[in-house]
Every structure is written in structure tokens, then in C-alpha cells.
Chain A
Amino acid sequence: MFIFMNNIKLASYAKRTLRVLVFKTNLVSAKDIHRISPLMGDTAGILRWNVDEHDIDNVLRIETSWLLPGDIIRMVTDAGYLCEELPD
């Protein structure tokens, strides 16, 4: 029983390692990126973020240790943009 509990703790701790999350968005222009910039900067848990301005998918790249893809998608969609996770 104890071992089982321990495993659950481990699984939740796994979220604490640095991860890269990537999303396809419609953050097309510098203005769009500027608009989400405060949001990204103020969110605890986002270590680094950038939008690939020179590629067709306008990929939003996030380095985080504990945020989940769903958190980012919610934030960006709430700001009025499209955001979907790029599959592995």
C-alpha cells in the first residue's frame, strides 16, 4: 500500500522537470506576439517562451516545469487566439 502511494507522489513530481511544450497558433504578426507577451511573462511556471515568426505554423514554444498543455491552450484561447498542441 505504501509503495503504491509512493508511486503516485513520484508521478506528480515528474511534472517538476523542465519540459518543452509546442503549439500551433495564429499568432501571425509582431503585434499578436506583443499582445500575449504580458500574459506569458506574468505566468508563474513559464520559464521561457517564444513564437517562431518565420515558420508557417506560428509555433508557440514554452519551457515549463509544471504547466500542462491544457493550461497554455486555455490562456492563449482566452486571449482570443487559436492554439492547439503539436502532436509528438
Chain B
Amino acid sequence: MNIHLYLLPMRTRDANKENSIREKAIEMIVKEGLDGFSMQKLAKAAGVSPATLYIYYNDRDDLVVKIATEVSIRMMDISLRGLHTKMSFAEGMAVQWKNRLEFYLNYPLDVQFIEQIRYTPVYDSIKKTMRTTFGDVLGKFMHNAINKGECTPLPFEVYWSVAFAPLYQLIKFHVQGETPASDNFKITDSAVDQTLQLVLKALKP
């Protein structure tokens, strides 16, 4: 007897549909927050049935965690692109600043989305994934920089506030377009470089 197995499920996964679901979910959570977000609203916005959403995701939390993990990984991936553990501290910082700026300007919604969920329980599981995926490269880079005497050892929070917050303030001015001193501020390479040089000077032992 001939036994045939049908391998296609009744509803199949479709990459385009999945992308559109992801995009709409990010847009909705940025606009309305996590509390107002529902699978039904998302289905309507993405042009799929609620049933379809549950093919891709087990439930609402699963959807948020999966999408946020993807976005976080992409963000870190881009931020660390071209960074090598043996680079000099100044060189490695320049690479990271360039990457972070690029990501922020190219994917502003993704950045806002991560900011929205960063302080919710959803982010706990993501933190672990990020640490295991990226902790190694960054950790080794910092370790080398400190050992070579290129960077002062500091508590993480102090280090991060000096190392990256100035860049984010520049970006904020750029996005707002307005600063206390100017009505149409645009971020420039020279403004970024000038700020970076001061940061490097501050972090030098």
C-alpha cells in the first residue's frame, strides 16, 4: 500500500506576512504602549486574521518577546559590526559610535520600541540572550583596553554614561532639530568627532 504524508500544514508560514506583522507590532507598541496592545488590533493593522497570529506566536507575551529579541539582536549586531577585541580603545569606540549613530538614524522606530520595553518584565529574558550573544566581544574589548592602559576601569554605569550618553544627546538634538542654541540643528561628522575626542580624553587613565 502506498502511504503518502502531506508535509504542508493547513496554514503555512509566509515570510512577507511575518515581516508585516513584526513591523505593525513595533509601530503599534511605540504609538500606544504595551498596555494598549492587543492581538486583535494587531491582526487588523497587519491585515491578517487573529488566528494567523497564533500560527507564528504562542501568545501575546511570546510575540512581544520574540520581536523584541530580534530587534535587540539586530541593534547589537549593527552596533558591534567591525569591532575587534584587539582594536585600540579609541579605534573601537569610533567604530561603535559610527554604528550606533547609523542604527539610530536608520531605524528610529526600533530604537523607540526597545526603549518602551526596556523597563518591563519582557526585557529580562532578552537581557540574558544579549549577554550570552554579545557579552564576549564587548567584554574582551574592554578587558584589553583596560589592560593596555587605554581606558580607566570604572563601574559599568559610570563608564556607559560617559562613553555613550553624549552621543545619544547629540542624536536627540538632531531628532528634535532644535537645541537651546539653534533652531535647526543637524548632526555632523565633525560634531560627533569633537564629542568623541572629549569622551576618549575623559576615559583615559
Contact = CB atoms under 8 A, between A and B. Distances in A.
Interface residues of B, number: 23
A53 B39 CA distance: 12
Interface in A1-49: 6, 9-10, 13-14, 16-20, 22
A20 B11 contact: yes
B50 interface: yes
Given A52-B60, A59-B59, A88-B52, A6 B9 contact: no
Q: Which 8 A-B pairs have the closest CB atoms?
A: A52-B59, A86-B51, A14-B6, A22-B54, A55-B60, A54-B60, A22-B51, A55-B39
B59 A88 contact: no
B4 interface: yes
Interface string A45-88: 00000111111110101000000000000000000000001111
10 contacts: A16-B6, A17-B5, A17-B8, A17-B10, A22-B51, A52-B60, A55-B39, A56-B39, A61-B54, A87-B49
A55 B9 contact: no
A54 to B, nearest CB: 5
A56 B133 CA distance: 34
Given A10-B6, A16-B5, A18-B9, 9 more contacts: A10-B4, A13-B5, A17-B7, A17-B10, A20-B55, A22-B51, A57-B39, A61-B54, A61-B58
Contacts of B60: 52, 54-55
B32 interface: no
A79 B93 CA distance: 61
A88 B49 CA distance: 6
A64 to B, nearest CB: 11
B9 A19 contact: yes
B6 A55 contact: no
B152 interface: no
Contacts of B54: 20, 22, 52, 59, 61, 86
